């Protein structure tokens, strides 16, 4: 598979003939299906728990990388890189979960002389901090939820900023997601205690106790736009997915198109998603997430710098193979 050269990456002129999938299960199988269509050989890595799993049999080459615990296998960067070198892989695709949004892993792959099928380590790092991400996209003119994203994190400072933002408000971990380190407060009562509790949970979950304060948007919709950027500075979007049906901040149902978006609002949000990608020099596939108020206001939430679980519904309505797009961009 020949790839066009690019000034953005010294490895972009290298061909991908053999790709290692640094993941397991359904996503590994999904990547391998597209690789077969593209004529790219695949390498599976597996732990002892997955020795008989279908994705291992589907690969052209399979390499055991350790025992069942993920820390000793799917999260062991040195073992994954060693498997790639020993099998002659040209590239590594991280799938989703595990190391897919780990900037150090993306950097290590490239330093090993391999192609990382994903965005730059710098983009992953910037979007991994919600505070830095919001500063970057706000400077590009993309609306963000009013609140406090500053570096001063003392409890007294955060409490004062919370009173400025007003109630209801949302305390949220800067470095994480999934509802960890998150608190909704509707009054000043117990404010400092809630800040300390959210900080402890964020530190425990993400090794980073930094918090953000946002105005809490009542009854929001959660709208995300799929973007795809090349290594020449061009970013496009492939429309939206709505994931408003959630339980404990975890998505349950994804649908597209969203019934909440008029053509005009869809255009505005799509343009904002592209602006986010351009603001951080994003290439490869990613997802820009927004919240949408009942009044039609939308605000930037975060960027998922990977392929998402729900990507097939975008493929279904656009006819675009996002895995193929990721590989071709890489």
pLDDT of 38-62, one tens digit each?
Answer: 999 999 999 999 999 999 999 999 9
Residues near 73 by beta carbon (within 8 Å), at least 6 away in sequence: 45, 46, 47, 48, 65, 66, 67, 79
The helix (run of H) or strand (run of E) holding residue 83 is: helix 77-87
For residue 180, the tally of other CB atoms under 10 A from its CB is 16
Per-residue pLDDT of 236-254, as tens digits, reads 999 999 999 988 878 899 9
> How would you classify the pairing of strands 91-93 and 18-21?
parallel
Quote the pLDDT of residue 5. 32
Q: Is 195 helix (H, G, I), strand (E, B) or coil?
A: helix
What confidence tier does 10 reach under pLDDT thresholds 50, 70, 90?
Answer: very low
Give bridge partners of residue 19 from the DSSP assignment. 42, 91
**Residue 13 pLDDT grade (very low, low, confident, very high; cuts 50, 70, 90):** low
Per annotation, catalytic residue among 24, 136, 306, 326: 306
As a whole number of angstroms, the distance between CA 144 and CA 329 comes to 29
Asked if 165 contacts 147 with a C-beta cutoff of 8 angstroms, the reply is yes
Bridge partner residues of 115 (DSSP): 91
The tokens for 144 are 């963000």
**Residue 242's beta-bridge partner residues?**
223, 255
pLDDT of res. 248: 80
**H or E stretch at 304:** strand 298-304
Residue 11: pLDDT band (50, 70, 90) is very low
Residue 309, pLDDT above cutoff 60: yes
DSSP per-residue codes, 217-235:
-SS-EEEEEEEEE-TTS-E
Mean pLDDT of 56-73: 97
The answer, yes or no, to whether residue 137 has pLDDT greater than 70, is yes
Q: Is position 306 annotated as part of the catalytic site?
A: yes
Cβ neighbours, 10 Å, residue 249 = 11
Please tell me the least confidently modeled range out of 43-47, 101-105, 248-252, 273-277.
248-252
CA dist., res. 36 & res. 58, Å (int): 10
Average pLDDT, stretch 172-186? 85
Q: Tokens for 80, please give them.
A: 């994954």
Q: Quick check: 150 and 162 in contact, CB under 8 A?
A: no
pLDDT at 9 over 80: no
Q: Average pLDDT for residues 157-182, to the nearest whole number?
A: 89
184 forms bridges with which residues in the sheet? Answer: 170
Instruction: Please state, in angstroms and rounded to a whole number, the distance separating the CA atoms of residues 319 and 237.
Output: 13
| Residue 148 CA to its chain's centroid (Å) | 23
More confident position, 9 or 121 = 121
d(CA 133, CA 193): 27
Q: How much is the average pLDDT of 87-106?
A: 96
Q: Kindly tell me if the per-residue pLDDT of 275 is higher than 90.
A: yes
Q: Is the predicted pLDDT of residue 2 greater than 60, yes or no?
A: no
Average pLDDT, integer, range 126-150:
88
Predicted confidence (pLDDT) at residue 181 exceeds the cutoff of 70: yes
- Nearest Cα neighbor of 115 from 95, 98, 85, 92 is 92
Q: Where are the beta strands (DSSP E) in 48-177?
A: 61-66, 91-93, 115-116, 147-148, 169-173
pLDDT digits (tens, 9 = 90+) for 188-214: 999 999 999 999 999 988 889 999 999
Q: Yes or no: say if 280 and 136 are a contact pair by the CB < 8 Å rule.
A: yes
Give me the pLDDT at residue 7, please.
Answer: 36
**C-alpha to C-alpha distance for 183 and 122, rounded to whole angstroms:** 29
């Amino acid at each position: 598979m020949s790839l066009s050269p690019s000034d953005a990456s010294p490895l972009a002129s290298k061909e991908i003939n053999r790709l290692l999938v640094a993941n397991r299960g359904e996503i590994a199988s999904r990547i391998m299906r597209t690789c077969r269509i593209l004529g790219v050989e695949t390498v599976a890595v597996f732990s002892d728990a997955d020795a008989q799993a279908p994705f291992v049999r589907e690969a052209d080459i399979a390499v055991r990388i350790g025992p069942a615990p993920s820390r000793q296998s799917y999260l062991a960067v040195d073992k994954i890189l060693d498997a790639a070198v020993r099998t002659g892989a040209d590239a590594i695709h991280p799938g989703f979960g595990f190391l897919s949004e780990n900037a150090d892993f993306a950097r290590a792959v490239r330093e090993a002389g391999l192609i990382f099928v994903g965005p730059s380590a710098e983009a992953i790092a910037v979007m991994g901090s919600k505070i830095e991400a919001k500063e970057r996209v706000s400077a590009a003119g993309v609306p963000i939820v009013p609140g406090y994203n500053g570096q001063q994190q003392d409890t007294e400072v955060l409490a004062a900023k919370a009173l400025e933002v007003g109630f209801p408000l949302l305390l949220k971990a800067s470095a994480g997601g999934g509802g960890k380190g998150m608190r909704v407060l509707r009054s000043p009562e117990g404010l400092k205690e809630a800040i300390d509790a959210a900080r402890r949970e964020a530190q425990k979950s993400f090794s980073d106790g930094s918090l953000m304060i946002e105005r809490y948007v009542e009854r929001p919709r959660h709208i995300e736009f799929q973007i795809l950027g090349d290594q020449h500075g061009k970013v496009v979007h492939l429309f939206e997915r709505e994931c408003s049906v959630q339980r404990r901040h975890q998505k349950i149902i994804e649908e597209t198109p969203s019934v909440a978006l008029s053509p005009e609002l869809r255009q505005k949000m799509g343009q904002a998603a592209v602006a986010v990608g351009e603001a951080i020099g994003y290439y490869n596939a990613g997802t820009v997430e927004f919240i949408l108020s009942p009044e039609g206001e939308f605000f930037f939430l975060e960027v998922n710098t990977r392929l998402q679980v729900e990507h097939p519904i975008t493929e279904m309505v656009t006819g675009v193979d996002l895995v193929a797009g990721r590989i071709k961009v890489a």
